[in-house]
C-alpha cells in the first residue's frame, strides 16, 4: 500500500494553495487568520466561488456535474481548504443527500436536485435525530402516512443544524409501524416552505444559533420525493452516515486547532514549559497517527474500496482529538477562556471564540453516531468480538 504522494499530486497541492491565496476574499481571509466564525452568507459566498472554480464537490463524478477528481486529489483539496481556515461548506447537500440521490435516486430526481445542490441555489439540512431518537436512530417516531399520491408527515426533528436557512430537509420517517423498527423507515425530501413545517432555532451553550427544533404538522410530501424504495430508508441512511463519519475525522481542522494552541501558549509565555510542551506533543502524536489512518483509507479508496467500518475509527479518534485540542486551549487561557467573542483585554487578544468552539465541539463525539456506537461497530465488524 503506497501512502506517498506522486509528483503530480504535489503539483496539484501547490495549485490549490495558490488558488486559495488568490481567491479567498480579503474579509474572509482576515477571519480565517484568527479562526473566527463565518456566518451563513459568508459560507455561501465561498461555496459559489468554489463552484465557479469547479471544486465545490471534489468527490462528485463528472456525470453529475462534479470534477471527477481521483481520491488522492479530493483528499488534498479538502485538506488544503481546512488548513487555510476557509469557511466550512454545509455538508448536508454536497456530502450527504447529494451522494444519496446519486446512488438511490431516480434519474428525474437526480436532474431536479443535484444541479441546485452543486450551485448552492438550494441549501439543505438533515432530519434524523428526534427528542427520543438520537444515537438509537431507529427508534424515531416521525410518521409518514400514505395518502394517495403523497405522504402526510407528523412529528419532530431536533439538532437540525441551520434549518432556519435551509430550503430543503432530508428526513427519515416511519412508514410502517408493524415491523422491525429498522425495516419500517423511509427516506424522503421535504421542501421547508411546505405548509406545516416550522423550524425554531435554539441557542447553543456556545452562544450560536446552530441548531433548531423542526416540527411537521400534517405536512404533505409528494411520493416523487421518496428516495429509494418504500421502507428502504435505513439502507440509504447507513450509506449516508458512512460518508459523514469519514468527514468528521477533520485532520486539517485539528491541525489548525493545534496551531492555535501553540499561539496561545506562546502568548502566555509557557511554550517552553515542559508540562505544557508535553501535552502539546502528545496531542500532535495522536493527530499524526490519525493522519496515517486517514492515508490508509485514502490508499484503499484509490484502489476502489468504498469506506467501510474503518470510517468509525476516523470518526472516533478525529472527534476526540479535536475536543482535546480545544480543552488544552481553554486550560492555557485560564480565566480569559470564558470570553466568548474576542472581548477587549482578553489574552491573547487575537484568539476568537475559543470557549464557543470548545462548547460546540463537545458534540463531535455524539453527532454522526456517538462514540459508544462507533466502538460497537469497531468491535463487531473490525475486531470480530463475540457479543459485540
> Annotated catalytic sites, by residue?
244
**Cα distance between residue 75 and residue 301, in whole Å:** 10
284's grid cell = 500532535
Task: Return left, alpha or beta for 376; rule: phi > 0 is left, psi -120 to 50 is alpha, else beta.
Answer: alpha
Cell 466564525: give the residue: 37
- What Cα–Cα distance (Å) separates residue 179 from each residue in 138, 146, 193, 230? 12, 16, 32, 13
Q: How far apart are CA 13 and CA 72, in angstroms?
A: 10
Cα distance between residue 264 and residue 279, in whole Å:
14
Q: How far apart are CA 105 and CA 121, in angstroms?
A: 20
Name 189's bridge partners: 170
Place of cell 402516512: 145
Helices and strands (H and E) in the chain: how many: 13, 8
DSSP state string for 266-280: HHTT-TT-HHHHHHH
Q: Phi-psi region for residue 214, left (φ > 0), alpha (ψ -120 to 50) or beta?
A: beta
Gap between the Cα atoms of 173 and 190, Å rounded: 11
Task: Mark out the alpha helices in the chain (DSSP H runs).
Answer: 7-23, 26-33, 40-53, 71-83, 91, 98-104, 107-119, 233-247, 251-267, 274-302, 311-333, 354-360, 371-377
CB count in 10 Å sphere of residue 60: 22
Determine the 3-state secondary structure of 164 from DSSP. helix
Residue 130: name the closest of 104, 158, 105 by CA: 158
Amino acid at each position: 500500500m503506497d501512502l506517498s504522494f506522486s509528483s503530480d499530486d504535489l503539483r496539484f497541492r501547490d495549485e490549490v494553495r495558490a488558488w486559495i491565496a488568490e481567491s479567498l476574499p480579503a474579509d474572509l481571509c482576515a477571519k480565517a487568520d484568527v479562526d473566527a466564525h463565518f456566518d451563513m452568507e459568508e459560507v455561501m459566498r465561498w461555496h459559489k466561488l468554489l463552484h465557479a472554480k469547479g471544486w465545490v464537490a471534489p468527490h462528485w463524478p463528472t456525470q453529475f456535474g462534479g470534477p471527477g477528481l481521483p481520491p488522492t486529489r479530493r483528499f488534498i483539496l479538502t485538506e488544503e481548504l481546512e488548513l487555510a481556515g476557509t469557511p466550512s461548506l454545509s455538508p448536508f447537500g454536497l456530502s450527504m443527500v447529494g451522494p444519496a440521490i446519486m446512488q438511490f435516486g431516480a434519474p428525474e430526481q437526480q436532474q431536479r436536485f443535484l444541479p441546485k445542490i452543486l450551485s448552492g441555489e438550494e441549501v439543505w439540512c438533515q432530519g434524523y435525530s428526534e427528542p427520543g431518537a438520537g444515537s438509537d436512530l431507529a427508534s424515531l417516531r416521525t410518521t409518514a402516512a400514505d395518502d394517495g399520491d403523497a405522504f402526510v408527515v407528523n412529528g419532530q426533528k431536533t439538532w437540525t443544524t441551520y434549518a432556519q436557512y435551509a430550503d430543503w430537509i432530508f428526513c427519515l420517517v416511519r412508514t410502517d409501524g408493524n415491523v422491525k423498527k429498522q425495516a419500517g423507515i423511509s427516506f424522503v425530501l421535504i421542501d421547508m416552505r411546505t405548509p406545516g413545517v416550522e423550524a425554531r432555532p435554539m441557542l447553543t451553550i456556545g452562544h450560536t444559533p446552530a441548531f433548531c427544533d423542526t416540527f411537521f404538522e400534517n405536512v404533505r410530501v409528494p411520493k416523487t420525493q421518496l428516495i429509494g424504495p418504500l421502507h428502504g430508508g435505513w439502507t440509504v441512511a447507513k450509506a449516508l452516515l458512512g460518508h459523514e463519519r469519514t468527514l468528521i475525522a477533520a485532520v486539517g481542522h485539528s491541525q489548525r486547532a493545534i496551531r492555535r494552541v501553540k499561539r496561545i501558549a506562546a502568548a502566555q509565555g509557557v511554550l517552553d514549559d515542559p508540562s505544557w510542551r508535553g501535552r502539546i506533543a502528545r496531542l500532535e502524536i495522536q493527530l499524526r497517527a490519525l493522519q496515517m489512518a486517514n492515508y490508509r483509507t485514502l490508499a484503499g479508496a484509490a484502489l476502489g474500496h468504498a469506506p467501510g467500518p474503518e470510517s468509525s475509527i476516523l470518526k472516533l479518534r478525529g472527534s476526540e482529538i479535536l475536543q482535546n485540542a480545544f480543552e488544552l486551549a481553554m486550560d492555557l487561557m485560564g480565566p480569559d477562556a470564558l470570553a466568548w467573542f474576542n472581548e477587549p483585554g482578553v489574552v491573547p487578544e487575537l484568539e476568537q471564540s475559543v470557549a464557543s468552539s470548545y462548547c460546540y465541539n463537545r458534540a463531535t463525539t455524539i453527532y454522526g453516531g456517538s462514540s459508544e456506537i462507533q466502538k460497537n461497530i469497531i468491535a463487531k465488524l473490525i475486531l470480530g468480538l463475540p457479543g459485540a
